[in-house]
Amino acid sequence: MKCVKVISFKKDLYGLVKNLEAQMRKAGVEIRLNTEVTQERVEREAPDVLVLALGAAPIVPSIPGTDSPRAVLGTGLSEPKVAIGKKVVILGGGLVGCESAVHLAQQGKEVTLVEMMEDIAVEANVRQRPILLDMLAELHVKVKTRTKGVRITDQGLVCTDDSGNETLFEADTVVVSVGQRALREAVTGLLDAAPEVVQVGDCVKPQKVTEALYRGYHAGLDI
């Protein structure tokens, strides 16, 4: 959830994170930052129950150029060392791609959003989606659907249409935002670390905060 801090229209979500932190501290939960949970560490601490909430990682598509200095992961936009050029192409029109487009357009970038499916932000809820689409239109974000990113070059993102015709979308920065994958390998490595192991949140399936909180709360009730 570190990503929400710098995005102006996510301040309520950031507030929720700070509120949860305050509630944990008040309830006497010991919070250890910069501490990687490994099988050895868990065995040393010997908890009765281990709750795994390891989260998800961004998917890196298997197209040439994702290692180019022009390519940036959508989840990395809030990192101070990540420089974003004036002309930006966003690869992927899911929620993260659309919100990244709004955020960057609000900063005065020229943004084009490329999505291979028929539509964008399909996973947004019925109240959120029209607002998001209006914001994209008001900020003059160019939206290209049925357009598939096939390689990142030193000029931008090359895409194909339904007929296989190639078009170059020029960009100083290509923001790669094609989804998240659950950190299943990390979970699997910890499944035998404690007598009882419970999995919650995005490490089971990448979803949203509501689902992660719901599962986490019910895991707590069950213990």
Ligand X SMILES: Cc1cc2nc3c(=O)[nH]c(=O)nc-3n(C[C@H](O)[C@H](O)[C@H](O)COP(=O)(O)OP(=O)(O)OC[C@H]3O[C@@H](n4cnc5c(N)ncnc54)[C@H](O)[C@@H]3O)c2cc1C
* Residues 50/193, Cβ–Cβ less than 8 Å: yes
Binder to ligand X among 16, 20, 37, 63 (CB under 6 A)? 37
- Residue 75 in contact with ligand X, rule: CB under 6 A: yes
How big is the site for ligand X, counted in residues (CB under 6 A)? 23
Is 187 exposed, middle or buried (CB count within 10 Å of its CB: 0-12, 13-18, 19+)? middle
Q: Which is nearer to ligand X, 71 or 212 (CB)?
A: 212
Cβ atoms within 10 Å of 35's Cβ, excluding its own? 8
To ligand X, the closest distance from the beta carbon of 175 in angstroms equals 11
Binder to ligand X among 72, 89, 90, 96 (CB under 6 A)? 96
Cα separation, 144 vs 18, in Å, equals 37
Cα separation, 107 vs 120, in Å, equals 21
- Cα angle: 101, vertex 104, 166; to 5 degrees: 50
Which residues, including other chains, have CB under 8 Å from residue 53's CB and lie 6 or more apart? 199, 200, 201, 202, 203, 212, 216
Q: Which is nearer to ligand X, 102 or 158 (CB)?
A: 102
To ligand X, the closest distance from the beta carbon of 57 in angstroms equals 9
To ligand X, the closest distance from the beta carbon of 32 in angstroms equals 9
Binder to ligand X among 124, 139, 209, 219 (CB under 6 A)? 209
Binder to ligand X among 12, 30, 36, 118 (CB under 6 A)? 36
Q: Which residue's Cβ has the minimum distance to ligand X?
A: 201
To ligand X, the closest distance from the beta carbon of 150 in angstroms equals 24
| Phi, psi of 29, rounded to the nearest 5 degrees | -75, 130
To ligand X, the closest distance from the beta carbon of 163 in angstroms equals 33
Q: Which is nearer to ligand X, 146 or 184 (CB)?
A: 184
Please give the residues from 127 up to 186 whose contact with ligand X meets the rule CB under 6 A. Answer: 180, 186
- Cα angle: 185, vertex 219, 214; to 5 degrees: 95
To ligand X, the closest distance from the beta carbon of 51 in angstroms equals 10
Residues lying near ligand X in the complex (CB under 6 A): 1, 3, 10, 13, 36-37, 53-56, 74-75, 96, 180, 186, 201-203, 207-210, 212
